[in-house]
Structure 1
C-alpha cells in the first residue's frame, strides 16, 4: 500500500472512493479465502487493506458504508451444502502487528474493567492455526452436526466429512448435555507434500498450500474424498453450552483436552504483556519447525467472568486479539544460479538454494528476475538492496508473503567468500551452450539459436493447456513433460491428433505408465475432444504470443470477433499498411504488441502450423451485444482512477463494444465518468460540470443489466 496517499491527506470525496474500492476488494478476498478455498491475495496484503479501511473509517466516520468490511466475518456459505445457523456467532479477531499494539490492547482492557494500570491480568496465549474454522455440536455426548464458519452467522453443514477426521471424537463422556466445540481443521506439512504428490501422480492440480488443502478436503460433497485426506483438528474454544466448562479459558481448554480433543501444546498463560510478547517471539523462532502453518498468536483474557464483562463488538470480542507474524524471512546459502527458458524464449536466472523453511514451506529455489536484478540495479539503473549484487556462495535472505514465489531480500556481505566473483550472464549462457542475446532497451536475455530447445517447446505446450487457455482435463504440466520426452506431443496440433496416431503398442505404453490405465487414457482422449471447440480469446491466449496476456487476448477477440477476420487482418498488416495502423489504434495495443501479434501470421512456417491446428478446432466468435439496446450506446465515457475488476483497457473495450465512445479527457461533451480508486482531477472536473459519475460497481451494474 506504499503507493496509497496517507489517510490524513484524503479529502471526503477521495475517502469515499477509497472506502468503496476497499469494500469491493476485501469482499472478493473474503469470498476467495473463506468460500472458495483459493486466496486471491496473501494474508499480509489483506491485513494491510483492512487496516487502511479501519483508519479511513476512524477519520471519516460519516462515510462508513453499510457493507463495510469492518462489519463482516468470513463469506456466505458455499452452494451445495446444507446451511445451519450458529446458536452463537463465530466471530473474527481484531489484529495487532506491533508490540505497542499489544500493550495498548491490555491497557484498554484494564481501563474498561477499572483495574489499576500496573495490576496483573492473566491472559492466555496460543498459536493462531492457519486452517478452516469448524464448530462441532454434541448433545448428551453424541456428535449431532459439524458446521464451518461461513459468514459467522450461518455455515455449511459438513457433518459426514467431520466424522472421518480421527482427531474429532464421535462420542463424549462427562461432557455437558449441550456442547459446541470450536477449533481449526488443518494439515501438516508432511501430509500436504504427500497429498500433492498423489494429486500430481493422478494428473490433478496440486494444492497451493496446506490451508487450501485442508479447507478443500473438508468441504467435499463426497465424504469418502475427505476420509482419504490426512486432516487434523485443534480445539481451542466453544459456542453453545448447557453449563459452563470451567471458570477460566485455560481450565476450559484443559477440560476439552480431557474430553478427548487435541489442543495446542504451545498454549500457555501469562500475567503481563511482556510475557505475551516473549512467548510470541519464542514461537516465531520455532515456527518453521512446528510441522504445520500458523500466522500469529492469539491472546485472550483468561477469566471467563471478565470476558463476560468485556463483551463483544459487532464482529470481534473485546477480550481477544490476534498478534500476527510478519512475512517470514530466512537466511540460507546460494548454491548456484541456473538459467531457465520460458515459453517466449526469455532466459530467466533462478537461484538454487540450500533448502530452508520459510513460512511453513521448504524453499530450495528463488527467482532472480534478470541480469540487472542480480547486479543490484532496477530497470532504471537505480540501485536496489543498497547496490549489493548477488553471487554464488553468498548468504541471502529469502522471503515469502502468502503464496508468492520466493525472492531474495538481502545479501550478507560479511559472509561472502573471498574468492567470489560477480555473476556473468553471457559466460553462464556460454557454459550451458545456450545462444542468447539482450536487445537494447530489453531487460531480458532471449534465446536466439536456430535449433529448437526442448525446454522452450515444453513451456509453450504447458501454456497451451493452462487453465486460462485450453484447460484440458488429464493433460497438465506433468503429462506434457512425459509425452514430450516420449515424442508423442511436440506441437499443439499433436494434442488433437494424439488418439489417431496411437497404435495398439503406443496405447499400451500409455496404459503402462505410472498412474495411467485404460480408463484414465480414455478420460484423456475425451478431455481433448471436449476442447476441440474453443472461444476465440482463449485460443489467442493459448498461442503464447509475446506481450499478449489474457486481457490483450480479449481485446483482440472483441475487436475482430472471428478467427477468420483476425487471421485476414494480421496477414495484411504489413508495416505502414492501413491494417497495421488499425491494429495499433485498438485501445491497449501498442506498436510492440502489434508486431508480436502479426509475426505468427506472416512467418510462413508458423502460419502453416496455425493452419494445421485450426483444422482440428471449431473457434467460437467473440460474443457481441446489440448496441441498439445498450444504455451507453452513443454516449461519451471517460475512465479514471484504478479499476479492480478489470484493466482499464478491458473496460474501454467493453464500452466500445456496447456502442459507447471512450475519451481520455473530461469535457462538456462527456456523458459518464467512471471513477475508480484514486480518481483525481477528472472526477473533480466532472462534478463541476454536473456529469454523471459512477463508481466501478455502478458501471458494471449499468452495463450488465443488458
Structure 2
C-alpha cells in the first residue's frame, strides 16, 4: 500500500470536491457507485489509522452542505444517511451485527429511490412546512415548491396533532426526457439524470418553475408523530397510506436474512423496468423499539443499511456511428451497437457525446466496447474492451443534414452547423426568431411554431411572412380570430428594424447589444454582405470573435437566400433606431447588478442608452457608475474594491429627470 497519509489526503480532496458538485451545485460528475467506493476506501484507511482522521473528512459528517438560497430549517430528528452494502456477504454481516443486540428480528426491504430527500411536517392534519435534507441536521425551507407536487397532500385524511414524515422527491423518466428535450431546444445545458433534474427543479426560487417540472414523491418513513402510537415500520406505511401519502412501493416484510437477499435481488431485476430511478434497496429493522435499542453511530443508524446496485456493464460490438443534428445545430455522434440487454431493456444505441470523448477512449467502428446505463436511463460507452483494427473515428466537417460547414467554438466540445436555414435546427431558430428580444411576434409561441413546422407550413423564418389566415387556421384549436391576430403580429414585426433582425438571425456570439451596435454603425443590411473583420472591430465593444462570426454568417449562400426572401416579403432591412437627442450620459459606462424596485434591467439599459450612455456587463476602472438593486453580488463587491461610484434606483431617477 502507498503512503496512507498521502492517499487519505487525496481521497478527502476528491470526495469533498464531488460532495460540492453533488450537494451544492447539483452537478454530479461521477456515478454514485464510484463515489461510494472512494468513500469506502477512505473509511478503511481511517479505521486502520485513526490518527489520520481530520475534521473536514467526508466520513465525519452526515451528508452534504446546506444551500443558502432558502431559509434554514433545523431537523429535530436528524435525517441520517445509511451505511452502504455492496455484496450479499456484507448484508449477512449487517444482519449478524443487528442480531447481536436482538435475536428476534423482522426486516422491511424497500426500493431505494434515486432523488432528493425531504421532510414534510403536518400540524392538525395540515401541511405546514417542507424542507430538504441538507446536511442531515440543517436543511432548506422549500415549502412553497413542495406544495406544487400534486402527490403531496396539503390536508391529511385524519387530523393527527403532529406528524413529520420523510420522503424522496423524484422525476419520472417521461418528464425527464421532455425536460431535456426542452432544454436542448432552448440551447440550455440539459440535466444529466433524473436525480440531478429533481434536485435542480425543487430548489428553484420560483415555484412556478418547480410546478412545471412534474416532480413526484414517495414517502418512506415517520420521523415524529403525536397522538397515534406506531410500533412497527410496516404498520407506519399502512398509516401513511390511510393519511393520504404516496408511500414507497413494493416494500416487503422479511423474517430472515435469506428472504432479505432474495428481495434485494428481485428489486435489482425490476429496476430497468420502472418508470423512475432506483439505485439500490434499503433494509430496515421493522420494530421501532428494537431501533431505539440499536441506536446510531456518529454517521448512520445501526438498524438500517442500503444495498447499492453497481451499474450493469456489458460488452458488445460497435457496428456504426451515426451523426444526428440537434435542434440547436449540435452534431452528436451515436453508436449503433449489436443489441445487448442492460438493466432489463435491450440496448442497440448509445451516445458518444463529441470528438473529445471519442478521442479519449480511442473508439473506432468495429471495436468491442463496454456499455452501461448512466443513471439507469441513458446508455453510454465507457471503454473499449477489444480493438477491431480500424482508425479512431473522426467527426464530419460538413453538416449531414444540409451540407453546410460545421464549426467548433473555442470553449466548446461540440460541433455546430453554420446554416441559419438548416432543417435539423429549424424549430429552435424559429422560436428564437419570434422571441421578444428578436422580432417580437406576439402569439407565436413554441407550441404554435411546432404545429406550423409539423404541418410543413414553415420551413424557414422567411416562410412566416408568407402565411395567410386560411393556412394558419389549419392548426388545431386555431380559430378565425386567433389566426387573424397572429397574421397581424407577423405583419407588425416587419418594421422591427435591422438591430432586431440581426439578433433574430441567431448569429453565434452576436447578442442584442452587439446587433444594435452593428446596425447603428452600418445602417443597412446590404453593407454587411461585404463587411470585414477590421471594419467591425472598429466599433467600440465589438471584438474579433463577434466580428468573425458576423463575417462568416454573411458569406453563406443560405444567408443571402434568407435575406432576399425576407426583403421580398417587406421586412425592414435598415436601422430604425432613433438618434439620441439628450446626451447627458455621453462617455459614461453603467453596470447594472441586483434587482431594482421598479425598473427591469432591460428598461434601465434602454434609458441609459437613450441618453447616450453605455451599459457594460463587467465592472472595471473605466466604469462610471454601478446601478445596484437587491441581492447585488460580485459586481457590487468589485465596484467597492475599485472605488467605483455606486447608485441606487432613487439616485438614478434623479439623474434622468
1:60 counterpart = 2:60: no
Q: 2:312 aligns with which of 328, 335, 339?
A: 328
- Unaligned runs of 5+ residues in structure 1 are 1-8, 413-421, 426-437, 470-475, 490-494, 534-607, 622-706
For the structure 1 residues 349 and 122, does the alpha-carbon distance in structure 2 shift closer, same or farther, using more than 3 Å as the test?
closer
**Which residue is 1:232 aligned to?**
216
Deviations 1:386-419 (A, max 9, x none): xx9648xxxx86313559861277999xxxxxxx
- Partner residue of 2:407? 460
Structure-2 residue corresponding to 1:270: 254
The reply to whether residue 170 of structure 1 matches residue 159 of structure 2 is no
Deviation for aligned residue 1:315: 2.3
RMSD, aligned CA: 5.0
CA distance in 1, matches of 2:39, 2:167: 24
SS of 1:211's equivalent in the other structure is helix
1:204, distance to aligned residue in structure 2 (A):
3.5
Mapping of 1:285-684 within 5 angstroms? 285-329=269-313, 336-338=320-322, 350-352=335-337, 354=339, 358=343, 364-367=349-352, 390=367, 398-402=371-375, 406-407=380-381, 443=392, 460-461=407-408, 463=409, 466=412, 483=420, 485=422, 509=463, 528-529=510-511, 618=542
Q: Which residue of 2 aligns with 1:46?
A: 35
What secondary structure does 2:165 align onto? strand
Measured after TM superposition, the shift of residue 532 of structure 1 is 5.7
Query: Which among 176, 185, 193 is matched to residue 177 of structure 2?
Result: 193
- Give the C-alpha shift of residue 34 in structure 1: 2.0
Q: Distance in 2 between matches of 1:213 and 1:368?
A: 19
Does the residue aligned with 1:176 lie in a helix, a strand or coil?
coil
Q: Which residue of 1 aligns with 2:70?
A: 81
Shift of 1:153: 1.1
Distance 1:454 1:142, change over 3 A: closer
Q: Distance in 2 between matches of 1:609 and 1:284?
A: 62
Distance 1:404-1:60 versus aligned 2 partners, 3 A rule: farther
CA 1:510–1:48: 2 relative to 1, 3 Å: farther
Instruction: Compute the displacement of 1:295 (Å).
Output: 0.3
Change (3 A) 1:82 1:510: farther
Which of 251, 256, 270 aligns to 2:235? It is 251
- Counterparts of 1:230 and 1:38 in 2: how far apart (Å)? 20
Distance (whole Å) between structure 2 residues aligned to residue 531 and residue 359 of structure 1: 51
Task: Tell me if the contact between 1:351 and 1:368 (Cα under 8 Å) persists in the aligned partners.
Answer: no
Q: Secondary structure at the match of 1:400?
A: strand
Asked if structure 2 preserves the Cα contact closer than 8 Å seen for 1:245 and 1:252, the reply is: no
- Structure 1 residues 612 and 131, CA gap change in structure 2 (3 angstroms): farther
CA 1:397 to 1:173, structure 2 compared with 1: closer, same or farther past 3 Å? same
Deviation of 1:203 (Å): 4.1
**What is the Cα deviation at residue 158 of structure 1?**
0.7
Tell me if the contact between 1:397 and 1:408 (Cα under 8 Å) persists in the aligned partners: yes
Counterpart position of 2:81: 92
Q: Cα offset for 1:250?
A: 0.8
Deviation at 1:529, TM superposition (A): 2.8
In structure 2, runs of 5+ residues without a counterpart are 326-330, 427-431, 442-457, 476-488, 516-530, 546-657
* Cα distance in 1 for residues equivalent to 2:315 and 2:247: 32
Partner of 1:129: 113
Deviations 1:554-575 (A, max 9, x none): xxxxxxxxxxxxxxxxxxxxxx
Determine whether 1:106 maps to 2:95.
yes
Question: Alignment partner of 2:407: what SS?
Answer: helix
TM superposition shift of 1:48: 1.2
Instruction: After TM superposition, give the deviation of residue 41 of structure 1 in Å.
Output: 1.8
Contact kept, 8 Å, 1:297 with 1:323, in 2: the verdict is yes
SS at match of 2:349: strand
Q: CA offset at residue 322 of structure 1?
A: 0.3
Residue 249 of structure 1 deviates from its aligned partner by 0.9
User: For 2:424 and 2:151, how far apart are their aligned partners in 1?
Assistant: 48
Q: Any idea what SS the aligned residue of 2:420 has?
A: helix
Q: How does 1:207-222 map to 2 (within 5 A)?
A: 207-222=191-206
Is the alpha carbon distance of 1:284 and 1:26 closer, same or farther for their aligned partners in structure 2, counting shifts above 3 Å?
same
Query: 1:250·1:269 contact (CA, 8 Å) conserved in 2?
Result: yes
Q: 1:359 to 1:178 in 2, by over 3 A?
A: farther
Q: Distance in 1 between matches of 2:348 and 2:399?
A: 31
Q: 1:363–1:406: 8 Å Cα contact kept in structure 2?
A: no
Q: Find the residue that maps to 2:27 and give its secondary structure.
A: coil
- Give distance in 1, aligned partners of 2:332 and 2:119: 50
Distance in 2, Cα, partners of 1:209 & 1:123 = 31
1:26 Cα deviation from its structure 2 partner:
1.6
Provide the rounded CA distance (Å) in 2 between the counterparts of 1:218 and 1:58: 37
1:604 corresponding residue in structure 2: none
Shift of 1:286: 1.3
Tell me what 1:430 maps to.
none
Residues 368 and 91 of structure 1, relative CA distance in 2, 3 Å threshold: closer
| CA deviation vs aligned residue, 1:403-457 (integer Å, no higher than 9, x gap) | 9861277999xxxxxxxxx9785xxxxxxxxxxxx6xxxx56587x9x8987896
Structure 1 match to 2:553: none
Q: Secondary structure at the match of 2:91?
A: helix
Superposition deviation, residue 123 in structure 1: 0.6
Q: Is the 8 A contact 1:292 1:360 kept in 2?
A: no
Partner of 2:10: 21
Aligned length: 471
- Matched residue SS, 1:105: helix
Alpha-carbon spacing, 1:297–1:247, altered in 2? closer, same or farther (3 Å): same
Q: What secondary structure, in the 3-state scheme, does the structure 2 residue paired with 1:284 have?
A: helix
Deviation, 1:364, is 2.4
Offset at residue 83 of structure 1 (A) = 1.2
Question: Is the partner of 1:406 in helix, strand or coil?
Answer: strand
Q: TM-score scaled by structure 2?
A: 0.60
**CA displacement at 1:29 relative to structure 2:** 1.5
Could you tell me whether the CA contact under 8 Å between 1:218 and 1:226 is conserved in 2? yes
| Higher deviation after alignment, 49-58 or 240-249 | 240-249
Note the C-alpha offset of 1:18. Answer: 2.3
Aligned-pair distance for 1:23?
Answer: 2.0
Whole-angstrom distance in 2 between the partners of 1:228 and 1:278: 39
Structure 1 position 30 matched with structure 2 position 19: yes
Contact kept, 8 Å, 1:77 with 1:154, in 2: the verdict is yes
Matches of 2:121 and 2:199, distance apart in 1: 19
Distance in structure 2 (CA, Å) of the matches to 1:361 and 1:212: 25
* Partner-residue secondary structure (3-state), 2:128: strand
